[in-house]
Structures are given as C-alpha cells and as structure tokens.
Amino acid sequence: MDEAGARVSGAAAGARPSQRGRVRLAVAVHVLVLAATIARQRNWLYRRVELGAVMEDLGTGDPQRIGPYTLRARLGQGGMGRVFLGRSPSGRAVAVKVVHEHLARQSDFRRRFAQEVTAIRAVSGAFTAPLVGAGPEDDPPWLATVYVAGPSLAEAVAEAGPFPLASLWPLAAGLAEGLQDIHSARVVHRDLKPANVLLAADGPRVIDFGIARALDGASLTPDSVVIGTPGFMSPEQIDASELGPSSDVFTLGAVLAFAATGQSPFGEGPPLAMLHRIVHGDARLDGVPEPLRGLVAACLAKEPADRPTPAEVLRLVTESWRPPEQRPTEPFWPTPVTLLLPRHRLPHSDPQPAGEVPPTREELTLRYTRVRQNERDLDPTAAARQMEQLAIDQARVLGPDHPDTIQSRHMHAFYLDIADKPAEAAPLMAAVVTDRRRILGPDHEETLRSEQLHALFLGKSGEYAEAARLLAQNARDRARVLGPDHRSTLWSRHLHADFVHAAGDHTEAARLMAGVVADLTRVLGADHSATRSSRHVLETYLGTEDSPTAARQRTS
C-alpha cells in the first residue's frame, strides 16, 4: 500500500485528536461566538450569503461603474464586501467584489489586500474562477473574477438535497484539481466552504481563494459576518497556527461530507461546540457512501501531515471513478441541480455564451411531441434521457417554473419507472410534486397526479408503508377536489389497499379493497375492466386465487 493509500486506511480507522492551542482556541471561540450572534440577528443577510441569491436590481446606493466594468445587478454580500454582476467593455460577464468602507479605511487591511491580489493573479485553472481585474489602490478597493453561471454548493444541497455518489466523484475531482492550481501559485484558500464552491454546467469552480487572509487582524464592525465558517475550519485555523495547503485539504473533506449528507461532518449548534468537535472529536461520516468515506476521513485527519495532498486526492478519486465521455446532451450534475442553473444565467440583455444558440419554443414543443408520439417504439431509458435533456433546455429558455418544463420533468420520472428504475424515479417525482404544489397549488389535478405517481414509485421501490400513507392522503384529496366516485379517486384507493397488503396488514388491505370493489361496481358496473381487476386482487387477498400476483407486478 502506498503512502496516500495508507493515510486513507489509517484515517478510516480513526485518528487521535490534536491537543494543541487550548488558550488560542478559547480566544478564537470568543470572537466566533460574538460574530455568529451578530450574524444571527441579521439572519436574512447570513442566509443570503451562504445559500446564494438570484440577481437583484442595483439599489440607490450601489455604484454604477467600478474600474472598467459597468455594473448590471447585485449578486450578494459577504464579510469583505458587496458582489455585483459586471460587464467589461467587450461584453464579458464578471463578478465584481467591492470592499466595505470600514475595511477600506484600514491601512493594514489595504496592504494585505494588495498583497493577496498580487498573489492570486497567478492562479488559473479549469476549476477556479480566475482574477481578471483589480483596483487595490482605488477607493473603495475592488477585484473582479470570471462570472460563474451556477448555484453555490450550499444552495444546491439546500434545494436539491445531498448528492448521489455518481456526482460526488466529479465534485471531488474538480475541487482537488482546483486546489492544486491554487496551491501551485503559493496561495492557500483559507475559506473553502459550500458557499465558495459554484456549480457550473461543466463542473465545480472554487471562488474567493486567498482573499480571507486580508481580513486577518482587521477591525470588525457590528455589520460583519463570521471570518471563516465554524463547520468548515481546520484545527490549525482554530488554534491560530500557521496555515498551509493541508488546511484546505481538511476543509475539502468537510465540503465533500456536506455534499454527501447535507450537513457539516461536525454537526450543527453553537460555534463553541462545533469548534471543540473539530479539534477534539471525530467527524460523523455515516452518511458518506463508500468508497468515498475513506478518502474524506483521510482529508479530515487532525494532524496536517496525515492528510493527503490535492494531487493524492485526485489520484485516489480516479482509482475509484472514471470520468465519463463529455457529451453536450448529457448534464454534468443530477437533474434537480441542473434545473437550478437558469436562475443564475445572465440577464436577457447580455450576450449568450460563445457558441450557444438556444432552441426556440417551437423546437422544444416539437421535441416533446415526438417523444410522446413515439414512446411505444422508444426504449424507455432513451425516452427518459430525452425528456431529461428537454427539461434542462426548457428551463433555460422558458424558465424552471414554466408548465412545459415541469411536465417534461414529470415525464422524465415516468419513463424511468417504465424502464424499471422506480428508485431513481421517486425522488425526481417528489421534486415535481414540490414545485407543482408551489406553482399550481395542492389541489390542482396535475399536482394530485404527480403525488399519486410519486407514491406508486416509492411502493415499487419497496417503501410500502410510506407509499400507503401517501396514497391514503391522495385519495382523500382527490375525493374532496374531484369527488369520491371519480375514477382517479378510486384508483388511488385501490393502490392504497395494495400497498397496505404489501406492508403486511392483509386484513386491513382486504377491507379496503372490498370497499373499492363495492364502489366500482356501483359507479362503473360489475363487468367493467376496472371492477374486475380490483375484484381479482381482492380474491387474491382472501386466498381464493391459486396464483397471487405480487404488489409490484400488480401496480406496474
């Protein structure tokens, strides 16, 4: 076993906590607790910085121009300054960070800011947002980086949930390669966290590298936010030791654990408790899938010397994961994350990215019609893939909340189920349900239809009890909105009984199905195919049939 592999194995078995810097830890905790308290009092600002925000129009107090860049919109605000969408004279989109006034008045801050700007000019790479301009001597100081059209990792996980393993590998590879490029320029990021990882259509981008150092020793005002994020700091950062590249590797491990589980590996709660767990406790990695868990554990080793380098991380990732062929028709991220990308696209008055010609509405409609008309001849997996890409294109052209976009997402999940992939279809349909409730309302027929299919997919995935619970609610809602004798109401009741039976309550299932048979007989007649089908299932429950049909087959 080589050295990097040994680190992974050793970290997976657990590492002894460091005992350094208790006095410095107490001082750092005091500052962080104070800053976190202030930030919580301004929770709207803290949440906006961490989760990202849709572009806003410029306010009355916002500058119209910084350096050579015309400002177009406000992107957000952080501890160092405000961030704007800018446009260069040639039309290039950039993110312009303008330093807060109270920091710009501090000569020590301006000196460190100028030094860091000089250092990070040398950083370039496929997975970073390079510096394209800066005015460290201007009033106020500013810097500009390439604009990345995508959500932060924090926003993506908050809205779409934890990432599957298939997306964690390319995330890990991209971030490791980005850190390699940053460290090769002799820069340490110092603040790698989910809010500083942006997800472009073709991979992650690391932003704000090196700039956090300019805040060292700066006087904070009550309007400041936390310098460093407690859940994403290294032990040496907490005890004020000298920081090297291995500090970024520790926070890389924390970021990957967050992407896999939706939370910091050191939990939530007061900063004091979180910082103590980082220095003295074990990371909670139960939700991180193997074999990535061992790599994450190695990154989170307490001692810097025990962590792999970014190059070793990249090599270990590629030993378990092989990058797929990059084809324009295949999205880089899971569909729920890809559908967030249109929120961050440039305003309509800005030029389209080079080489990109968006499809017309007519072309999008024709693509949907062709899939539906040819669905009997198409392989369902191919149909699902076409609907997935169609939904992405519709979100870009029509908007993520357009009815056509959501309908294509609905059909994407539907075709996945037809392809015998209900476990993949269920979370996609759950996202459709959430959006249809928000846009159309809980009582809209399309919302009720998506809810019914979501429950069905869960049941076919083996989650019988949850499927039964959701179908019981769906049947009640349909009875209230459409009437108790509506065909779709009776079908939800049929499915409810079926999954109650699959969950093991055979007596209750027989009682429920008997009620369905009675109402179908009254509404449709005893010889109707739906009545006969439910009666056949009831006879199976009662043991009067020689060949019972499994719930999975019955509900296909």
- Positions marked active-site: 191
The answer to whether the beta carbons of residues 204 and 137 sit under 8 Å apart is no
Burial class (CB in 10 A: 0-12, 13-18, 19+), 56: middle
Residue 455 neighbours by CB under 8 Å, 6+ apart: 466, 467, 470, 471, 474, 495, 499
- Report CA-CA distances (Å) from 351 to 92, 328, 450: 9, 20, 37
Q: CA-to-CA distance for 550 and 449, rounded, in angstroms?
A: 24
Q: Decide if 432 contacts 448 (C-beta within 8 A).
A: no
* Sign of CA pseudo-dihedral 120, 123, 124, 125: negative
Distance CA 415, CA 383 (A): 6
Angle between helices 310-320 and 245-261 (to 10 degrees): 40
| H or E stretch covering 320 | helix 310-320
CA distances from 152 to 48, 52, 319, 370, 481 (A): 11, 6, 27, 35, 39
φ, ψ for residue 152 (rounded to 5)?
-75, 160
Is residue 97 a known part of a binding site? yes
User: Considering Cα of 269, then 19, then 283, then 174, what sign does the dihedral take?
Assistant: positive
What single-letter amino acid sits at 403?
A: P
The 8-class DSSP code of residue 217 comes to: T
For residues 279 and 235, is the Cβ–Cβ distance under 8 A? yes
Burial of residue 41, with CB atoms counted within 10 A of its CB: 0-12 exposed, 13-18 middle, 19 or more buried: exposed
- The sign one gets for the Cα dihedral 352, 357, 360, 364 is negative
* Residue 200 three-state SS: strand
d(CA 435, CA 429): 10
Cis before 291? omega within 30: yes
Neighbouring C-beta atoms of residue 176, cutoff 10 Å:
26
Placement of tokens 């999954």 in the chain: 499
Whether the CB-CB separation of 73 and 55 falls below 8 Å is answered with yes
Six-digit token pair at 278? 């980082």
Q: What is the DSSP secondary structure assignment for residue 12, as one 8-state letter?
A: H
Is residue 278 classed as helix, strand or coil in its secondary structure?
A: helix
Q: What is the 8-class DSSP label of residue 232?
A: G
Percentages helix, strand, coil for the chain, rounded to the nearest 5? 55, 10, 35
How distant is the alpha carbon of residue 115 from its chain centre?
34
Output the known binding site for ATP. 97
Output the known binding site. 97
